């Protein structure tokens, strides 16, 4: 307020009462006016924490760089044992030492955010998953334990492609989750072996050390556990005599005892909190994702671990178990169906109620094959260092569902494991399946994950 | 003399810029004008007067802060992540008429004005604006022949905004207005306006 050379200011204006045209306000006073038309709604939502909020369809996500470009991103490039700058995946889809190195960096939960190269095919990732990423739901902050064969030993990293592809499948859905590896060197009746992983150069850190700091895991994606085929597949109430190989009948109580004993081993002890080998691995609230198996039979078959789990484990655990069968492609892309190899629910409500189907193919482009070789160029890789990849399996389908569970747990961190599993099941759909709309629950269970529905409100808002 | 007038104008403009915002400065200017006028005419208004009176009911389309700044359009519908359509209007419908008023009256001395105001706040199921109190003071003093200093200060206290989450059948939490995840909702902080001015007036 500046008054220079001005006469006395006018006295206060008389009282004016205004009635706004929209009837919204009665204004009294000398200076008030009706409010102007409201501007467009202000943006209150701050999504600064989202990883890729502005990426549009077709954007090349930095998590999935096809390979390092030395000039642009030297930190994302690694050299192989021969001193060459190595992409994780070359034109022949061979993964060199650097690829394994990257995998294990990624398994320590540091790779994706730092622009590590992950050799996945963006073309294979469905649009609904990409949409979730664009809105920031990438699994960030969620801990996923991959329980599989990583082909490690105390002195050399052989680089089993199995654990690699398992992890990559989950990574193709939840690229920013924290991944932890638990080596499974399955010995029937034995315990999990967690082995340190190192390569010849010592560049790979010890997974064992990392696992010691894991206090809480949100999702566990499990390898295909061997079936308990002590039983004659034609007569499930019979046990094969180990000497003669011929079946002999047992009582049903004995059968249950054998089955339950099998559930008291391996990863399942972690699931129930009964393992003492590595007490810091806490799976007591994890969503437990179990491959249905690749034996072309129902999980209700007495030899199938996944069916036995649902039969015998207590409700507090079965409520967070998801058994996953395979599809021959993403249902979002084209009409998908169960491939020949995949197990299916079969008859029985409990098997069908916990069963999902998902794409079980390789996350890699082309024919999906990869070859790992620790510390060597593929051309000179000794045979015993080489590990070829299988192209499909319910293990990869389950890993993808584990990735979906991670997206849900990121968006709703207050959910517990059972609620997360329930939501994935309740929002699952048959849309996109070849059988739609007449899909049998004995074949497809609850259908495939609909991630957009799973991330959306369900029922009435209160 | 003209040179000195320019300097005075410059100083006064600088002081005026201390005001927190244009809107607040307008309020401050108005009070300064009235206080100065009262002092120059050596009068003390006998009756208090109201500068702001807003009464808003549940039909009002805009939710405002106590100082009148627009906070948001009152939400009616929201789209969920899977393009579901939800009626969220009930969550933002106020449960009472809102009263917002600022009253002024003269102090004991000419050129002294004391202001007090209240805002009854906004209470809906998922959003609350706590009641607020306005306190203001203006005083104009003569410091020489046709020279005046006017001090003006005022501001709102309270009016804190709180949001509650909507919950679905699975007890998952959302920000009701946009149905984004509650974990992703970062409410913007809104500071109520206040003003303070020092005005020097030299009548030539």
Asked if residue A324 has pLDDT above 90, the reply is: yes
User: Once rounded to an integer, what is the mean pLDDT over residues A35-55?
Assistant: 30
Task: Let me know how long chain A is.
Answer: 462
Task: Tell me the residue range of the domain where B90 lies.
Answer: 2-202
Residue of B40, B94, B142, B170 to mutate, interface with A, max A Cβ within 10 Å: B170
Contact (CB<8Å) A12/B34: yes
Contact residues on chain A for B164, CB-CB shorter than 8 A = none
Domain locations in chain A?
76-225+266-454
Distance CA A237, CA A230 (A): 10
For A69-113, write each residue's pLDDT tens digit.
444 444 444 444 444 443 333 333 333 333 333 333 333 332 222
pLDDT over 70 percentage in chain A: 44
Give backbone dihedrals phi and psi of B197, rounded to 5 degrees, phi first. Answer: -140, 150
Contact residues on chain B for A25, CB-CB shorter than 8 A = 54-56, 60
Architecture of domain A76-225+266-454: 3-Layer(aba) Sandwich (3.40)
Higher confidence at residue A197 or residue B165? B165
Chain A residue closest in CA terms to B7: A4
For A125-135, write each residue's pLDDT tens digit.
788 887 887 77
For chain A, report the end-to-end CA distance as a whole number of angstroms: 51
For A408-444, write each residue's pLDDT tens digit.
999 999 999 999 999 999 999 999 999 999 999 999 9
Task: Let me know how long chain B is.
Answer: 204
The answer, yes or no, to whether the previous bond of A248 is cis (omega within 30 of 0) is: no
CB pairs < 8 Å spanning A and B: 168
- A49 touches B: beta carbon within 8 Å: yes
Higher confidence at residue B104 or residue B189? B104
pLDDT value at residue A309: 85
CA dihedral A384, A386, A391, A396 (to 10 degrees): 80
Q: Where are the alpha helices (DSSP H) in chain B?
A: 2-16, 22-41
Distance CA B105, CA A297 (A): 88
Distance CA B42, CA A74 (A): 77
Distance from CA of A408 to the nearest CA of B (A): 10
DSSP A430-455: -TTBTTTTS--HHHHTT-B--HHHHT
Closest CA to A342 of A397, A404, A389: A397
- B97 touches A: beta carbon within 8 Å: no
User: Once rounded to an integer, what is the mean pLDDT over residues B186-190?
Assistant: 77
pLDDT value at residue A101: 36
Contact residues on chain A for B199, CB-CB shorter than 8 A = 1-2
Q: Three-state DSSP class for A326?
A: strand
Q: Which of B9, B36, B56 lies at the smallest CB-CB distance from A25?
A: B56
Distance CA B147, CA A176 (A): 68
pTM of the model: 0.69
Mean pLDDT (chain A) is 64
Distance from CA of B7 to the nearest CA of A (A): 11
Asked if residue A368 has pLDDT above 50, the reply is: yes
Contact (CB<8Å) A24/B56: yes
For A139-173, write each residue's pLDDT tens digit.
877 888 777 766 543 333 344 567 767 777 887 78
Chain A residue closest in CA terms to B172: A412
CA dihedral A53, A58, A59, A65 (to 10 degrees): 130
pLDDT band at residue A244 using 50, 70 and 90 as cut-offs? low
What's the structural domain count of chain B?
A: 1
Contact (CB<8Å) A422/B170: yes
DSSP state of A249: E
Chain B residue closest in CA terms to A410: B183
Structure tokens of B69? Answer: 């700044």
């Amino acid at each position: 307020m500046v008054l220079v050379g001005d006469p006395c200011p006018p006295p206060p204006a008389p009282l004016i009462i205004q009635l706004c045209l929209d009837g919204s306000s009665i204004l009294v006073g000398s200076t008030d006016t009706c409010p102007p038309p409201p501007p467009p709604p202000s943006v209150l939502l701050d999504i600064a924490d989202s990883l890729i909020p502005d990426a549009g369809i077709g954007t090349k996500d930095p998590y999935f760089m096809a390979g390092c470009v030395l000039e642009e991103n030297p930190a994302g490039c690694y050299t192989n044992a021969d001193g060459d700058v190595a992409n994780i995946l070359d034109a022949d889809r061979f993964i060199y030492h650097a690829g394994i190195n990257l995998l294990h960096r990624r398994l320590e939960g540091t790779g994706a955010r730092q622009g590590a190269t992950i050799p996945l095919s963006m073309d294979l990732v469905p649009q609904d998953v990409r949409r979730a990423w664009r809105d920031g739901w990438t699994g960030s902050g969620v801990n996923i334990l991959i329980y599989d064969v990583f082909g490690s030993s105390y002195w050399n990293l052989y680089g089993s492609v199995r654990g690699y592809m398992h992890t990559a499948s989950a990574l193709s859905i939840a690229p920013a989750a924290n991944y932890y590896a638990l080596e499974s060197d399955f010995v029937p009746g034995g315990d999990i072996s967690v082995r340190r992983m190192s390569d010849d150069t010592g560049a790979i850190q010890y997974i064992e050390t990392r696992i010691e700091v894991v206090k809480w895991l949100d999702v566990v994606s499990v390898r295909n556990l061997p079936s308990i085929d002590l039983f004659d597949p034609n007569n499930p109430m019979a046990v094969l005599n180990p000497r003669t190989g011929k079946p002999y009948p047992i009582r049903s109580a004995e059968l249950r005892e054998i089955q339950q004993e099998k559930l008291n081993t391996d990863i399942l002890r972690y699931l129930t909190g009964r393992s003492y080998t590595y007490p810091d691995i806490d799976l007591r609230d994890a969503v437990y994702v179990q491959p249905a198996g690749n034996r072309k039979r129902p999980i209700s078959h007495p030899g199938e671990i996944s069916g036995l789990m649902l039969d015998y484990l207590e409700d507090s655990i079965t409520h967070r178990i998801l058994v996953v069968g395979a599809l021959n492609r993403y249902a979002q892309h084209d009409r998908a169906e169960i491939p020949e190899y995949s197990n299916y629910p079969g008859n029985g409500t409990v098997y069908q109620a916990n069963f999902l189907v998902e794409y079980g193919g390789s996350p890699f482009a082309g024919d999906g094959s990869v070859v790992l070789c620790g510390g060597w160029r593929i051309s000179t890789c000794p045979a015993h260092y080489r590990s070829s990849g299988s192209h499909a399996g319910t293990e990869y389908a389950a890993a993808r569902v584990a990735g979906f569970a991670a997206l849900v747990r990121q968006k709703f961190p207050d959910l517990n494991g059972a609620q997360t599993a329930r939501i994935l099941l309740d929002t699952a759909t048959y849309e996109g399946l070849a059988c739609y709309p007449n899909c049998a629950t004995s074949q497809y269970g609850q259908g495939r994950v609909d991630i957009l529905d799973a991330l959306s409100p369900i029922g009435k808002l209160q | 003399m003209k040179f000195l007038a320019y300097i005075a104008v410059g100083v006064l403009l600088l002081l005026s810029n201390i005001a927190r915002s244009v809107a607040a400065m307008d309020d401050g200017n108005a009070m300064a004008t009235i206080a100065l006028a009262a002092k120059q005419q050596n009068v003390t208004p006998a009756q208090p007067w109201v500068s702001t009176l807003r009464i808003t009911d549940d039909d009002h389309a805009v939710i405002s802060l106590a100082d009148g700044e627009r906070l948001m359009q009152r939400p009616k519908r929201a789209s969920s992540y899977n393009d579901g359509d939800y009626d969220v209007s009930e969550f933002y419908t106020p449960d009472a008429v809102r009263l917002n008023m600022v009253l002024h009256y003269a102090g004991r001395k000419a050129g002294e004005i004391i202001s007090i105001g209240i805002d009854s706040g906004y209470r809906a199921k998922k959003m609350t604006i706590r009641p607020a109190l306005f306190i203001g003071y203006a005083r104009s003093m003569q410091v020489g022949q046709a020279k005046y200093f006017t001090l003006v200060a005022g501001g709102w206290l309270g009016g804190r905004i709180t949001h509650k989450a909507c919950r679905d059948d699975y007890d998952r939490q959302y920000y009701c207005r946009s149905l984004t995840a509650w974990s992703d909702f970062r409410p913007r902080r809104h500071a109520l306006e206040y003003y303070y001015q020092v005005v020097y007036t030299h009548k030539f």
